[in-house]
Every structure is written in structure tokens, then in C-alpha cells.
Structure 1
């Protein structure tokens, strides 16, 4: 398989059969993991990305698997498949809502409420090699809250996970992908890696505190995943990025306050 120093950081949310834009069916997830395994792609931890991108980039095609929000379905449907193939992953937790549902105040009305991981499940998965990062305390768009509140969202969520698991937390996913220079500086005080929702491959020159990812909504067709590092898929991702950015610009013009909160792939 061709490569050019890129890393595919895959983004999942819930693993269920609802068919929503934030869901991947258990059957499709299992098929996707089998494809990665059959292709011989190396799956690395998110904490290895900075080193892999150093200098001229990785000497092979690499994949990172991430899950946003910490849905309970990850434990039920995703973790057994990951174990089958010896893959690691990073799950980003909204710490005030662990053991509850994804009913945080900024959640769009049309997103179905589903249960999130219990701390007992998080500890079991951590012991089995899954890593956990911060998705803040309450999942706000950090650009829309005060600096003090943003700092608390980051610091308290990080410490909550560290206290629960007894190990340091270095990774973050910005809720709704939202960050600016101020939020980036706050993140840099607590984390070494932060993921955005910018659509693309991570590559040499990528900001480790604003890493691009590939939302699996756009890679549901198995053929796309089988050719993940081919130029044709890179062009397809570029087109989807252009279309999504155009939609966001229109939404920003129509509603400058809330457009990011209602971007369904975030």
C-alpha cells in the first residue's frame, strides 16, 4: 500500500445499529477492523503520533483509532473486536457524564441520547490496553465559554481520568472540534496531543495540538478503507473537506453563534 508520511487518525462515536451520522453498526465496525488487519496496517496509539511524524514522517502507513464521547457501546461492540486483532485505541471521555447519557447542554436536539461508559468499564478497558483522553467535563464548545471555564473544563477532566485510572493523561479531543489560539494555549498547558475535527490525514507539519482526523462517516464504503492511503482516496477526502467547509461557512453566515454546535460530524 502506498504511503507518503501520512497517519490516518480514524474517528468513531457510537457503535450501534441506529444508522445515525454519529453511529457505525457493529457489523460494519468489525468489517473495517478486519480490513485494517488484512492490509497489514500498523495501528499505533495516539500518544505515538508526535514521534511518528517527527522529521520526514513515518516510514510506513499508520492508523490510529479514536472514539469521541465514550459511549457504552464501545465496551460492548468495539472492544472485543479490537482485542481480536490486537489493536489499541483512544477513547475521549466527557467526565461529568460517565455512567450517564450524552445529554450535555450543548447536545443538538436531533442527536439520540445513549448511555456512556461506566467507570468500572473504563477501568477494565484501560487494564486491557485501551487509552483514555479528555473530551472535557461537560462537552462545551470551548470557544464559547470564558477562559476560566475553559481552563477548568480541561484541567478537571484530565485530573478526573488520572485519579480514576492512576496514570497520566496527555491526550485531548476538542468538543465540536472547536479551538482557537487561546484554547490551544490552554490545551498546551495540560496535554501533548489534541485532536480536532479537521478532515484529513495527519502528516509532517501537522500541529500536534490540532491534529486532523478522518471521520468514519465518510469512509463507510469498504472499498474506501481498502484503498485508504491511495491518491484517489486522498482526493476524495479533499473533496469532502471542501464541501463540509463550504457548508460550515454557510451555517456561520446564517447563524454565527451556534453553527459549530450543530455540525453533526463533531
Structure 2
């Protein structure tokens, strides 16, 4: 699958400097959506791939916008802007932290507190046509955990989300892009169809490569990141870098 998958975290009017690597402001997000529209891309979610059986015509000019952590502040601007443009996105929730905050970032990186969506907001998001995925249960580095613990993280988060949404959860975004050992076996056992990483050199359906969007991005760099050429470049670059 060679669809560009964009990765964002938090979008806000005046992002806190402590989270500068994970935050973009409203103007930058609007610019991103402008670029997607100007280049003729359609936003899709993983359910579209399954329902349309990954038809080549769908894949040719499509993009997936993904949001990690499910910041509640996305309802202030980003989500309304997506809805206004009839766009869709995939939102990844670390389920244990639902309705709480980004304690893992606060503890490890001393970043500002970010309030996360609660159950009602997830339900509202789904009713608006957005897709919800898992970001594990505890937001931990799965590559450092036992197979038993990883399976528990994958299954628990998926089960809870499906209970809330009353619909399937198709994908997971691995926290920190930390892919568990024996991930193929674990993903199949847990019932996921797709797994998302960050800048991974080689990909398959369980390790799909994502492209980060940052405050430092310009119109030109965003358009470049949407191109298949950039995706191939990252594939070779990341293989060499590793």
C-alpha cells in the first residue's frame, strides 16, 4: 500500500513550546488541508480500504490523516475544519488515559499537560464520520514488553474501544513507533488489520510508514511529503540511517 499516511498529534491556536515536536498551530493545519485539496487528494480511513477492497482507483489519489493521543482540543479547530471540508481522519486513543491527560509525556519529557478525549467525545467523533483506532492501552513501548503483555495491550484497548463505538477497530498506531517482537503473530491474534509506525524503512500492512507533519513544515515541504517520490525517498533514507 502506497498511500501517504500523515501523522499529527496536537493542533491548537497557541501550542505550548514544550510540545513543539508534537504540536502545530491552527494556521499550519489549515495550510496542510489546503495542500491536500490543491493536489487533488481525497482523505480516506481504513474502513474505506476494506469496504472498497483497496481498489487501485481509490489508492491513486488518497491520503490518510492520523492523529495520535486524541487531544480534546482537536474539537476546538481541527475536527470542525475537517468536517467543514468534508474530510475524514483516523484518531488513535491510548485507552487507559481516556478522559485524562498525557501523563507519559509529562513524566518523561516534562511537556505541558494535554487533556484527552473522554468516552462521549469519542462517540461524537465517530458519529461525525471519523475513525477511531488503538494507541495501545497504557501508551508504552511495546518492543520492550513481553509477548503476553503486548497481546494484553493490543486486545484490551481494541475490546474497550469496540464496546464504546459498537463498530470494529481496524488499526493501531504503535506508541513511540515501538513495534513489538513477533508483531505479525500478535496483530493477527488481536484481530487488527493494520499497524502504523513512523518513518519505517520497510513496511507491510502491520508496519505502515507514516510521515510526520511539523510546525516547521512549509507549503512546499507538505506538498513534497504527499508525493510518492517522498515516500520512496524515506524508504531508502531510513534503511541507510538504520
Whether these two folds match at TM > 0.5 is yes
From 10, 13, 24, the equivalent of 1:14 is 10
Stretches (4+) displaced over 6 A: 50-53
**5 Å matches for 1:227-266?**
227=224, 228-229=226-227, 231=229, 233=230, 237=234, 241=238, 245=241
**5 Å matches for 1:164-243?**
164-189=164-189, 190-199=191-200, 206-217=203-214, 220-227=217-224, 228-229=226-227, 231=229, 233=230, 237=234, 241=238
- The reply to whether residue 161 of structure 1 matches residue 168 of structure 2 is no
d(CA) in 1 for partners of 2:228, 2:168: 36
Q: 1:239 to 1:27 in 2, by over 3 A?
A: farther
1:90: which partner in 2?
A: 90
> Quick check: 127-136 or 14-23, which moved more?
14-23
TM-fit CA distance, 1:118? 1.5
TM-fit CA distance, 1:156? 0.8
d(CA) in 1 for partners of 2:222, 2:144: 35
8 Å CA contact 2:198–2:209 kept in 1: the answer is: yes
TM-score normalised by length of structure 2: 0.85
TM-fit CA distance, 1:224? 1.9
Q: 1:80 to 1:181 in 2, by over 3 A?
A: same
TM-score normalised by length of structure 1: 0.78
8 Å CA contact 1:150–1:183 kept in 2: the answer is: no
Post-superposition Cα deviations, 1:9-39, rounded to whole Å, max 9, x if no partner, equal 0000011222410001111101211221232
TM-fit CA distance, 1:51? 8.0
- Unaligned runs of at least 5 residues, structure 2: none
8 Å CA contact 2:23–2:215 kept in 1: the answer is: no
Question: What is the root-mean-square deviation of aligned Cα atoms in Å?
Answer: 2.9
d(CA) in 1 for partners of 2:33, 2:85: 8
1:249: which partner in 2?
A: none
2:25: which partner in 1?
A: 25
TM-fit CA distance, 1:127? 0.5
TM-fit CA distance, 1:50? 6.6
- The reply to whether residue 149 of structure 1 matches residue 149 of structure 2 is yes
8 Å CA contact 2:4–2:228 kept in 1: the answer is: no
TM-fit CA distance, 1:218? 8.3
d(CA) in 2 for partners of 1:89, 1:55: 19
d(CA) in 2 for partners of 1:199, 1:53: 24
d(CA) in 1 for partners of 2:157, 2:81: 28
